[in-house]
């Protein structure tokens, strides 16, 4: 079979940088070897070619909250940041808790998204797991309250929903903050927000999840945005995995971010960042996800106590972490594992690896091109970033299933996103 396209360059393949060619047909990698003959070819010098990142944690806010973001602006931001597949969370308005609503979101993404996507359904008492599991890629459970009304804090209900999700063969992504361990205090700054949702909130919730994970039928639980080492260190079974966000790795409560740094779970201490980074490097934390949760500047400008929690990050995830790789703070191996391979593997997507049979999604990066992050140059509708002024390595070109969506730093693609879990 002759490929439609061959790309020549230095690829990151199974832990190594290899000078080779990749042959692509109908958007899928069909061969990886030197000397591929193809109808069309492109070549990249002075760059390395990585798998496109798979960000399992975004909130693109459509439908219902499109003053903050929408599928068009969110997915264009993802593409510019080298993210070729996103996992969309259910706390939209209305929330994605019925098969009809999940299908409606799939249709919206299909017509608007510039990158591939998967759609999650929200778990709450009374949802119909069977019908939902045939349309949603995975489920999301909120053990603690945050943006939206998807709280599920009753242990009996939690286990019932997790058990039935396991029977349906679905991964449950969990917002693990124990509601009863929150401190109802009035908050003026990031340290107060930390005290309102102390580490015990997360540790307690993860401890409970570890108990659920031991039961039959063994559920697949992925703990979203882990912030403390103690939670990951609990003696938990193999079927429980962890995500960390770039903001919990790179920001802490002593930074002067005001309500722009208000997020759930909260930014922690500087030393927590160091331990999270170690856990990411060692593979004890399996994935990195942005938890891209934009709010408008107007909303964030409210008094700290009333300002909503959440910050944008889908466009800066890969750039910030690649900058850490360039500074030798993180290995390339750990980066590709956590940003590409593991998230795809977790949900059974043929993405995140440069190998025959996988989608031809790539981020082409020049590791010497580190630039300062400037929200005016990002593509979020909310027009701000908590990482303003920090350094990032943005991809020059990005491929989605064999077609360039970003070329030389400009958007050239069309909205041809596909449901990657279908």
**Residues found near Zn ion in the complex (CB under 5 A):** 291
State the angle between helix axes of 71-80 and 99-112 in degrees (0 to 180), rounded to the nearest 10.
60
| Shortest Å, Cβ 105 to ligand DOR | 15
Query: DSSP state, 340?
Result: I
- 298's CB contacts (< 8 A; 6+ apart) are none
Which residues, in sequence order, are bridge partners of residue 397? 364
Which residues, in sequence order, are bridge partners of residue 240? 221
Which residue number, 190 or 406, has a Cβ lying nearer to ligand DOR?
190
Instruction: Give the one residue of 59, 193, 229, 236 binding ligand DOR; rule: CB under 6 A.
Output: 59
Which residue number, 146 or 259, has a Cβ lying nearer to ligand DOR?
146
Q: Are 23 and 5 in contact (CB under 8 A)?
A: yes
Which pairing describes strands 410-411 and 138-142: parallel, antiparallel, or unpaired? unpaired
Which residue number, 149 or 214, has a Cβ lying nearer to ligand DOR?
149
160 is annotated as contributing to ligand binding: no
The whole-angstrom separation of Cα 375 and Cα 311 is 13
Strand positions, DSSP E, 132-239? 138-142, 171-175, 220-223
Active site residue 291: yes
Q: Are 341 and 352 in contact (CB under 8 A)?
A: yes
Query: DSSP state, 338?
Result: I
Decide if residue 101 touches ligand DOR (CB under 6 A): no
Binding-site string for ligand DOR from residue 128 to residue 167, where x marks contact by CB under 6 A and - marks none: ------------------xx--------------------
Instruction: Give the one residue of 164, 175, 260, 273 binding ligand DOR; rule: CB under 6 A.
Output: 175
Residue 389's CB: how many other CB atoms inside 10 A?
A: 9
Decide if residue 91 touches ligand DOR (CB under 6 A): yes
175 is annotated as contributing to ligand binding: yes
222 is annotated as contributing to ligand binding: no
Hey, what are 403's tokens?
Answer: 């077609």
Determine which one of 252, 291, 359, 361 is catalytic: 291
Residue 138's CB: how many other CB atoms inside 10 A?
A: 22
3-class state of residue 200 by DSSP = helix
Which residues 252-281 are close enough to bind ligand DOR by CB under 6 A?
A: 263-264
| Shortest Å, Cβ 150 to ligand DOR | 9
Decide if residue 97 touches ligand DOR (CB under 6 A): no
Residues making up the annotated binding site for Zn(2+) are 57, 59, 140, 175, 225, 291
Residues making up the annotated binding site for substrate are 59-61, 91, 295
- Which positions are annotated as active-site residues? 291
Q: Which residues bind ligand DOR (CB under 6 A)?
A: 59, 91, 146-147, 175, 263-264, 293, 309-310
């Amino acid at each position: 079979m002759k490929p439609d396209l061959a790309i020549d360059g230095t690829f990151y393949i199974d832990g190594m940088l290899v000078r080779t060619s990749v042959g692509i047909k109908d958007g899928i990698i069909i061969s990886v070897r030197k000397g591929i003959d193809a109808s069309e070819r492109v070549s990249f010098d002075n760059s390395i070619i990585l798998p496109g990142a798979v960000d399992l944690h975004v909130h693109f806010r459509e439908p219902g909250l499109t003053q903050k973001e929408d599928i068009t602006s969110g997915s264009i931001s993802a593409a510019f940041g080298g993210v070729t597949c996103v996992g969309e969370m259910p706390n939209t308005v209305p929330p994605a808790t019925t098969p009809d609503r999940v299908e409606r979101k799939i249709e919206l993404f299909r017509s608007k998204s510039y990158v591939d996507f998967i759609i999650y359904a929200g778990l709450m008492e009374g949802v119909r797991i069977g019908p939902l599991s045939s349309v949603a890629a995975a489920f999301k459970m909120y053990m603690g309250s945050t943006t939206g009304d998807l709280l599920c804090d009753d242990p009996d209900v939690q286990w019932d929903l997790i058990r039935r999700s396991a029977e349906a063969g679905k991964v449950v992504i969990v917002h693990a903050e124990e509601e009863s361990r929150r401190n109802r205090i009035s908050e003026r700054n990031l340290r107060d927000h930390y005290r309102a949702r102390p580490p015990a909130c997360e540790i307690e919730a993860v401890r409970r999840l570890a108990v659920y994970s031991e039961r039959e039928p063994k559920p697949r639980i992925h703990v979203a945005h882990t912030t403390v080492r103690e939670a990951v260190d609990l003696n938990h079974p193999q079927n429980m995995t962890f995500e960390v966000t770039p903001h919990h790795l790179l920001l802490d409560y002593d930074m002067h971010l005001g309500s722009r740094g208000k997020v759930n779970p909260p930014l922690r201490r500087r030393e927590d960042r160091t331990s999270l980074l170690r856990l990411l490097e060692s593979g004890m934390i399996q994935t990195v996800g942005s938890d891209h949760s934009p709010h408008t500047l107007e909303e964030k400008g409210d008094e700290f106590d009333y300002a909503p929690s959440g910050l944008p990050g889908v466009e800066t995830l890969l750039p910030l972490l690649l900058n850490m790789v360039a500074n030798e703070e993180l290995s390339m191996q750990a980066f590709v594992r956590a940003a590409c391979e593991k998230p795809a593997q977790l949900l059974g997507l043929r993405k995140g690896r440069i190998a025959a049979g996988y989608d031809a999604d790539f981020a082409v990066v020049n590791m010497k091109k580190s630039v300062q992050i400037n929200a005016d140059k990002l593509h979020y509708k909310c027009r701000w970033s908590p990482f303003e002024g920090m350094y990032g390595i943005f991809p020059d070109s990005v491929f989605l299933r064999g077609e360039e969506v970003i070329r030389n730093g400009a958007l050239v693609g069309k909205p041809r996103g596909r449901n990657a879990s279908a």
